Structure 1
Amino acid sequence: MRAGEVRQSAGMIQPGQLVIAREAHRQQLVRAVRRGTAERIRVGAYVGTEEAPESSFTAARRRAVRLAEAVHRQLRATHFFSHQTAALLWGCALWDTPEQTHLWQAYRPSGRAAADLRRHTGVIAPGQQARAAGLPVTSLERTVVDCALAMHPLEALVVADSALRLVPALDVDAARSILATVTRRNGTRRARWVLDHADAGAESPWETWIRYVCLRVSMPRPVTQVPVQTRRRMYHCDLGWPDHGVYVEFDGRVKYVDDGVRRGHDARREIEQEKRRADALHEAGIHPIRFMAADAAPRRGEESVVQRIARQFPAGMVRGFRTVPFLPPPPATRFGTR
């Protein structure tokens, strides 16, 4: 809604409804906040309080989208959401939800610019402009390149992996062409690495995390979604090195909670299915190394993820594993049990 349109009433704010203060009756909005049926998400923007409980991760993503919608309705200058914000609007996975709303605009912000906005200054070429979730954004390829240039390589790899699973999917060659036009030096090497190692087979941020810690120490590139034929059926391990008989899986606790994966998800049935699957894999001679989020920070005396995987390889190979100098250790995340 823009200036001049009919002002909406804040007295009947629906759960999840976004209300811009300048478009609403102030006293009705104040009463809604006092009743707890609305909350302020940024200066001049309110949203109806959600009734159904959500996971912290889902709530954070929803809030980040609402913030982008609020910024769009408040800004009058031409803008395109970018980086993590655009990735979110495209439907990409994120290692962590952004605490700031990222956007490109043609002019530099004033010294009084809002702290919850991260404004990038520049002109977006017509071919790199798009719309996602009803908002102006950088194209998927430009979004991934921006993320690869600015973010931690693990965080950018999570975005790139998931972008390859979208329909239509990320065009990696087009992204490489965009990256080739970047004149800055800082970050380009990492960005090329991210594009070269993006893999649609990583079905969750934590699967990407396992790949990253392995690739960071120069392990051979793992195969994702490795097919394994058992007496029951064909199963797939999250990743592995079939030539060496090494398989890895990540267990998210969300699978073992009712409604954890989706509404109606049955945790007891999930446990039963996982037990049958594990038995079938073991009978087929496949013994995956299993990890959970807690393994990202092992206790004193415990083996690291890299150590547990590396000892499955021949000693001669392990001696050749070296940390890639430009790849930093993985960052922490606020959402450790997705």
Structure 2
Amino acid sequence: MKKIGIIFIAFFAFGLLGRAQELRCNISISSTKIQGANRNIFRTMQADLYEFMNNRKWTDHVYSMEERIECNIFIQLDEQISSDEFKGSMTVQLRRPVFNSSYETTLLNIRDKDFQARYVEFQPLEFNETSNQNNLTSLMAYYAYILIGMDYDSFSPEGGTEYFQKAQQLVNNSQNAREPGWKAFESERNRYWLVENLLNRSYAPFRQCIYRYHRMGLDQMSDRVEEGRMEMAESLKLIQRVFRMRPSLYILQIFFDAKADEMVNVFSGSYPDEKNRILAILNEVDPSNGSKYEKIKTDNTFNLQTP
């Protein structure tokens, strides 16, 4: 019986090792701008945030190690407000693999300028989904749900709604928080507006674009390049619809921050007529990157990495 018990425990442990949480999130913290501080606290903070993001269960789904969502969070600490409170910025990046290729596409590349949080070394990080008791964990959880939601949206139509709603609940919980980034009146490009834009039905074509661009477009290009590229081109008409409703939307900036270089790469291999149609859309909806998009005209190479 003892031997059977040991075997059972071994199989149980193997089963646990075969499962994984949702995120494979790399955390980096830079504190070079803060002089005279104990550097150990920043190493401990980085380790604690890594554990919080990667070891917490964010969904009800079962993931394998290979299915975990690849993301990076870089925190730049600029100022130490008090012994345990810090201020700076936070860059959040999300990638996902493209089907049957070695290429990873960037879904998000956001810089949140309103990072402000307390951290006490060796004190457990507490998180409550119903109230903002700790701004650091509320901030990290907010982006965990945004990352998961965007990843799910790229695989199924509006697949990330549940997680965007969870992120919106954290925004609602934080309306009385003294830290910035949560309130509508503070900025048009902050956490409040990011999730508001994503869930606003008026801007639903944006999320339709995310699915069509990635699942119907990029994921098809390993064996059907022209069909996949055509779907990507058609998906940009959805972005154009949203732009014509409200050109200054935060989610539009986020899309082009993530996708501008990739679109140059993909559409450089298009036929002349398709290039002209794409350029007309891109120059309308993202004029700030106009000089970058001109490369589509002159470059005829396409190097999406495939096996």
Q: TM-score range by the shorter chain?
A: 0.3 to 0.5
Larger Rg: 1
What TM-score do the two structures reach when normalised by structure 2? 0.33
Structure 1 length-normalised TM: 0.30
